[in-house]
C-alpha cells in the first residue's frame, strides 16, 4: 500500500456571490468574480489531512483541473495540510467544456500513476451540481465507491463508510483502493493557519497536461443555453380555504 | 445552482452558524436573490501578480482570516454589542492559534516574522467584522501594546508577556493616555518611583481598550525627573497585582463591544526587570510605532467603508420612493460614486505608504495624512450613507447606524486629527517659528 491519498479540488464561484448570466445566455459571468474552493472539496481535503494526522495514510496529493488560477485552490489545500499538488492544465474552450466525464478520466489516470490507495472527492460542485465525478472515477478504475460519506473509518484493508441517503443513513464496508465522496457532515474543515499558509509556499505543485496522462478530454455535451431562474411572482393572500380552491380551479391547477 | 442555496442552508442548520441575515427589510426571498451577508466588494483584485504590495500568501491569509471572522466572530457581534463587551480571551485564542496575532512579531516568540504588509492585510480583512470595537481591540493586542516589547524587551520579559499575547493566551492593553493627557503624551502624571529592586507605581490611565479583561498592561510612566520626552519608561505590568484597580467601564457613543476601562494604580509594586528596554526611552519607543498604528487604522476602516457603500447600494436598489428605487435618483448614485472614489484614493495612499515602509523608509508624513483622511472620510461615508437609508438608517437594526457611531472615534483616538495636521504642517514647514 502506497499510503497515498488523491484529493480532487475544484475552483468554483464563491457561494456568497450573486450569480449573473451573460447577456448572450452562453454561461455565467466569471470575470472579476470571487472564486474559492468548492465547499465539499474543502471537506474532502480535511478528511484526507485528518487521516494523515492519525497516521492511517502517508501522503495527501491534491489535484485540480483548470487554468493557472487552479493553482490558488491547490495552495489553499496545501495550507490546510496537503503535501503536494498536481495542476492539470486545461484552458480556454477545453476548460469551458470540462465536465465530470473528462475529470474522472484524469482522476483515474492519476490514481493509477500515483498508485493511490484512496481517492476522495467532494460529492458535487456547487456550480454545476453534477454529482457524477466520484461515481464515474470509481467506475473507470473499477474500484468500490462510498458516496455521500458522513463518516469514514479505515479497518485494515477495508473501509467502513456511513452514507447519507434519502431514507437516513446506510453503512457499508468496501475494499480499498476505493473512491469516497464527501458529504456535508463528514467533518468541519479547519482554518488554514498563517504558519501553514507560509509553509505551503514551499510545497511542490507539478503541472501536467491531460495529453501527458493519455486522456482525451473532448466533450460529448454541448451547452445550448443558460437562463436565470424565473423571478418569483408576487403571491396573493386569501381569506378562506374556499377562496383558495376557487383560485386553484381558475388557474387550472385542479 | 439549487445546491448552492441548499448548501448554505444546510450549513446553517448542521453547524449552527448564524450568518448575519440582511433579510429584515427585503423580506423572505429565495436565497439566490438574497443579498448575501458578505457583499462582494468592488475593489477585490483577482490576480496577486499585479498587486502593489500583496502576494498570493497575502490573499490566502485574508481568505483564511475571513472564514474565522464569518464563523467565530460575526455571528456574535450583535450580542456582544448589546452586552457592551466581548470575550477577548476566547476570540484572541482562536486568532492566536491560527497565527494571526503575531504576524510581524519575532519567530522565537511564536510570531511569523513577516513584514508590515502582512499586518496591513490582516487589518484590512478585520474590517469585515460588523462593528468597530473588535478590530480595535485586536489592533491594540497586535500593534499597540506589543511592538515596543517585541523590539526592545528582554528575552525574559518577552517570554512572560509577548509569547502568550501572540498565542492568544494573555490579553494585553495599552496604558498611555490619562484623564489629563491624551494628545499631549509628554504631560502624563503616572509615576514609577524606584525602591530597591522594584518600581512603585501611582497614578491612573484612561481609555484603556481591553482594560476590564486584560492580563497585563503596557504602561508608560515617569521614571525620573528629567525632561518630559526623556524621563518616561514602558513597563509590563500584570493587571492582577495588588493596587491595580479597574475603576469603571466607560459608557461610550460607539465601539460598544470593546470594553474601555479607567484604571487606577495605588502603590503597585513591580520588579525593575519589567521595564522594556532602556529607562527613559519609553516615549521614544512608543513614538516609533505610530506609523504602523496609523496605517493599521486606515487599512481597517477602508474595508468597512466599502461594505457600507455596498450595503447602501443594495438597500437603495430595492427601496422604492415615488415609484422608483432610491438608487436611481442621480444625487444618490453620484454621491456614492464620489465617496467610492475617495475610498480608492485613500487605499492607494495606504498601499504606497506601506510599500515604502516595508522597504525601510520613514512614512510619518504619509501615515499621518492617511490617518487624517481615514477619520474624516469615514464620517462622511457614514453620514451620507445613513441619509440614504432614511428612517431605517436611524434604527439599531442596520450596520450603517453602528458604523456612524463607531467611526466617529477614528478622528479622535490613535492620534487626533489636530495632531495629524500638526505633523503634516511640520513636514510642510508651515508652523509658526518659535
Read off the pLDDT of residues A146-185 as tens digits, 9 standing for 90 and up. Answer: 999 999 999 988 999 999 999 999 999 999 999 999 999 9
Residue percentage of chain B with pLDDT more than 70:
89
**B29/A232 CB distance under 8 A:** yes
Whether A76 contacts B63, CB under 8 Å: yes
Instruction: Please determine, for residue B292, whether its predicted confidence score (pLDDT) is greater than 70.
Output: yes
CA atoms of B318 and B312, how far apart (whole Å): 10
Q: A240 lies in which domain range?
A: 4-251
Residues of B (88-117) whose Cβ lies below 8 Å from A: 97-100, 103, 112, 114
Q: What is the pLDDT averaged over residues A128-136?
A: 96
**Whole-number average pLDDT of chain B:** 90
Q: Which three cell numbers stand for residue B91?
A: 476570540
Give residue B434's pLDDT: 81
User: How far is the alpha carbon of B38 from chain A, nearest alpha carbon, in Å?
Assistant: 7
Cα angle A57-B56-B300, degrees, rounded to a multiple of 5: 115
Of residues A238 and B354, more confidence is placed in B354
Q: Per residue in A112-149, is it b (16+ CB within 10 Å) or e — as a string?
A: eebebbbbbbbbbbbbeebbbbbbbbbebbebbbbbbb
Give residue A1's pLDDT: 57
Whether A16 contacts B40, CB under 8 Å: yes
Q: Which three cell numbers stand for residue B82?
A: 448589546
Q: Does residue B342 have an active-site annotation? A: no
Give residue B47's pLDDT: 58
Which of A17, A32, A126 comes nearest B46 by C-beta?
Answer: A32
User: In terms of Cα–Cα distance, which of B151, B250, B169, B244 is closest to B209?
Assistant: B250
User: In terms of Cα–Cα distance, which of B330, B332, B365, B370 is closest to B348?
Assistant: B370
Read off the pLDDT of residues B6-46 as tens digits, 9 standing for 90 and up. Answer: 444 444 333 333 333 333 333 222 333 333 334 444 444 44
Read off the pLDDT of residues B181-226 as tens digits, 9 standing for 90 and up. Answer: 999 999 999 999 999 999 999 999 999 999 999 999 999 999 999 9
Torsion angle, CA of B303/B309/B315/B318, rounded to 10 degrees?
A: -120
Read off the pLDDT of residues B300-345 as tens digits, 9 standing for 90 and up. Answer: 999 999 999 999 999 999 999 999 999 999 999 999 999 999 999 9
Residues of A (128-187) whose Cβ lies below 8 Å from B: 129, 184-185
ipTM: 0.77
Which of B15, B40, B57 comes nearest A34 by C-beta?
Answer: B40
Q: What is the pLDDT averaged over residues B139-161?
A: 96
Overall domain count for chain A: 1
Q: Report yes or no: A68 at the B interface, CB cutoff 8 Å.
A: no
Domains of chain B, CATH where assigned: 173-279 (2.40.110.10), 283-428 (1.20.140.10)
B377 — pLDDT class (breaks 50, 70, 90): very high
Q: pTM to 2 decimals?
A: 0.84
Q: What is the pLDDT averaged over residues B262-266?
A: 97
Give residue B37's pLDDT: 39
Give residue B7's pLDDT: 43
A11 — pLDDT class (breaks 50, 70, 90): very high
**B32/A16 CB distance under 8 A:** no
The radius of gyration computed from the CA coordinates of chain B, to the nearest angstrom, equals: 22
Q: Per residue in B130-146, is it b (16+ CB within 10 Å) or e — as a string?
A: bbbbbbbbbbbbbbbbb
CATH of residue A234's domain is 3.40.50.620
Q: What is the pLDDT averaged over residues A63-77?
A: 95
Determine the number of helices (DSSP H) and then strands (DSSP E) in chain A: 7, 11
Amino acid at each position: 500500500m502506497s499510503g497515498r491519498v488523491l484529493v480532487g479540488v475544484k475552483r468554483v464561484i464563491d457561494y456568497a456571490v450573486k450569480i449573473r448570466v451573460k447577456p448572450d445566455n452562453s454561461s455565467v459571468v466569471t470575470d472579476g468574480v470571487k472564486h474559492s474552493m468548492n465547499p465539499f472539496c474543502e471537506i474532502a481535503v480535511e478528511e484526507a489531512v485528518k487521516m494523515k494526522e492519525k497516521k492511517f495514510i502517508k501522503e495527501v496529493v491534491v489535484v485540480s483541473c483548470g487554468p493557472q488560477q487552479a493553482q490558488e485552490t491547490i495552495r489553499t489545500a496545501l495550507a490546510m495540510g496537503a503535501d503536494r499538488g498536481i495542476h492539470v492544465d486545461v484552458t480556454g474552450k477545453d476548460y469551458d467544456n470540462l465536465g465530470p466525464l473528462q475529470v474522472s478520466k484524469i482522476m483515474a489516470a492519476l490514481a493509477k500513476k500515483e498508485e493511490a490507495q484512496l481517492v476522495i472527492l467532494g460529492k458535487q460542485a456547487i456550480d454545476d451540481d453534477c454529482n457524477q465525478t466520484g461515481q464515474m472515477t470509481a467506475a473507470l478504475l473499477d474500484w468500490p465507491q462510498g458516496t455521500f460519506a458522513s463518516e469514514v473509518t479505515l479497518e485494515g484493508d477495508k473501509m467502513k463508510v456511513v452514507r447519507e441517503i434519502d431514507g437516513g443513513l446506510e453503512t457499508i464496508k468496501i475494499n480499498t483502493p476505493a473512491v469516497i465522496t464527501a458529504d456535508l457532515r463528514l467533518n468541519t474543515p479547519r482554518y488554514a493557519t498563517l504558519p501553514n499558509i507560509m509553509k505551503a509556499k514551499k510545497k511542490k505543485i507539478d503541472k501536467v497536461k491531460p495529453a501527458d496522462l493519455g486522456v482525451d478530454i473532448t466533450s460529448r455535451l454541448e451547452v445550448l443555453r443558460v437562463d436565470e431562474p424565473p423571478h418569483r411572482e408576487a403571491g396573493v393572500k386569501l381569506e378562506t380555504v374556499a377562496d383558495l380552491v376557487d383560485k386553484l380551479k381558475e388557474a387550472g391547477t385542479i | 445552482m439549487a445546491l448552492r442555496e441548499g448548501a448554505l442552508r444546510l450549513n446553517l442548520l448542521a453547524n449552527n452558524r448564524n450568518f448575519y441575515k440582511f433579510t429584515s427589510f427585503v423580506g423572505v426571498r429565495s436565497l439566490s436573490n438574497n443579498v448575501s451577508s458578505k457583499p462582494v466588494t468592488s475593489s477585490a483584485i483577482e490576480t496577486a501578480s499585479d498587486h502593489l504590495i500583496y502576494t498570493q500568501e497575502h490573499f490566502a491569509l485574508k481568505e483564511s482570516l475571513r472564514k474565522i471572522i464569518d464563523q467565530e466572530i460575526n455571528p456574535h457581534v450583535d450580542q456582544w454589542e448589546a452586552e457592551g463587551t466581548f470575550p477577548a480571551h476566547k476570540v484572541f485564542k482562536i486568532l492566536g492559534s491560527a497565527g494571526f496575532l503575531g504576524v510581524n512579531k519575532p519567530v522565537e516568540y511564536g510570531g511569523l516574522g513577516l513584514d508590515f504588509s502582512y499586518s496591513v492585510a490582516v487589518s484590512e480583512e478585520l474590517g469585515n467584522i460588523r462593528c468597530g470595537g473588535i478590530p480595535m481591540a485586536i489592533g491594540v493586542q497586535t500593534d499597540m501594546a506589543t511592538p515596543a516589547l517585541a523590539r526592545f524587551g528582554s528575552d525574559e520579559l518577552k517570554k512572560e508577556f509577548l509569547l502568550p499575547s501572540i498565542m492568544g493566551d494573555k490579553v494585553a492593553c495599552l496604558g498611555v493616555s490619562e484623564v489629563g493627557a491624551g494628545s499631549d503624551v509628554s504631560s502624563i502624571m503616572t509615576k514609577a518611583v524606584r525602591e530597591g529592586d522594584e518600581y512603585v507605581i501611582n497614578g491612573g490611565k484612561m481609555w484603556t481598550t481591553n482594560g476590564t479583561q486584560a492580563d497585563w498592561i503596557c504602561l508608560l510612566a515617569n521614571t525620573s525627573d528629567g525632561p518630559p520626552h526623556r524621563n518616561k519608561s514602558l513597563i509590563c505590568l500584570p493587571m492582577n497585582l495588588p493596587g491595580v484597580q479597574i475603576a469603571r467601564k466607560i459608557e461610550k457613543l460607539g465601539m460598544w463591544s470593546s470594553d474601555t476601562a479607567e484604571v487606577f494604580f495605588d502603590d503597585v509594586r513591580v520588579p525593575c526587570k519589567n521595564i522594556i528596554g532602556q529607562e527613559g526611552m519609553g516615549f521614544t519607543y512608543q513614538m516609533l510605532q505610530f506609523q504602523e498604528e496609523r496605517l493599521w487604522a486606515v487599512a481597517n476602516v477602508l474595508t468597512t467603508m466599502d461594505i457600507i457603500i455596498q450595503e447602501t447600494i443594495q438597500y437603495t436598489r430595492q427601496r422604492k420612493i415615488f415609484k422608483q428605487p432610491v438608487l436611481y435618483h442621480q444625487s444618490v448614485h453620484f454621491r456614492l460614486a464620489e465617496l467610492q472614489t475617495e475610498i480608492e484614493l485613500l487605499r492607494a495612499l495606504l498601499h504606497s505608504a506601506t510599500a515604502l515602509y516595508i522597504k525601510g523608509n520613514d512614512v510619518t508624513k504619509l501615515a499621518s495624512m492617511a490617518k487624517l483622511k481615514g477619520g474624516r472620510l469615514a464620517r462622511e461615508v457614514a453620514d451620507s450613507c445613513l441619509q440614504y437609508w432614511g428612517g431605517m438608517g436611524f434604527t439599531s437594526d442596520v450596520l450603517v447606524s453602528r458604523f456612524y457611531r463607531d467611526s466617529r472615534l477614528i478622528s479622535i483616538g490613535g492620534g487626533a486629527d489636530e495632531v495629524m495636521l500638526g505633523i503634516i504642517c511640520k513636514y510642510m514647514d508651515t508652523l509658526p517659528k518659535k
